[in-house]
Structure formats: structure tokens, C-alpha cells
Amino acid sequence: MFEPINPKVFERCFQRWVESIVEAPGAQVIPIDGKTLKVSYDTEQGKSALHLVSAWSIDLSSCFRTSKTRR
């Protein structure tokens, strides 16, 4: 059974988590972006959809890495 996430509770928990991993004042936060490619699955071969995950550097205005996964 799934329940909707309370946005206010999620925001508080997320902010606490980010604060706990950022150790140094002025440390860089790395945004993570994920996308699922439509029609990238293959039901005949039992392969799930392809997902892309990217990590960005705001300071450098560039992508650190993009990885693909079927998990």
C-alpha cells in the first residue's frame, strides 16, 4: 500500500539530510537529474526501460557524469 508523501514533512527531512552531508561552509551541492527514456524497454527480451542519471556542477556549469542503467 502506498501513501502520498506529505510535502512539508519531506522538505524538512530533505533539508536536514542535505545539511548533514555538507560539512564545510560554502561546500558545493551537486544536483542530480534522472530521466527514463520512453519506449526503451523490450518486453520480448525482458529488458526494462533505460534510465539516465546525470550529476551537475553549478560552479562549473557542466555535467560531471551521465550514467545509464536498467535498474
Residue 65 CB contacts under 8 Å (≥ 6 apart), including other chains: 54, 55
SS (H, E, C) the chain: CCCCCCHHHHHHHHHHHHHHHCCCCCCCCCCEEEEECCCCCECCCCECCCEEEEEEECCCCEEEEEEEECC
**Whole-prediction pTM value?**
0.43
Give the pLDDT of the chain (71 residues) as one tens digit per residue: 567 888 888 888 888 887 777 666 666 677 888 888 887 877 788 788 888 888 777 666 677 666 666 66
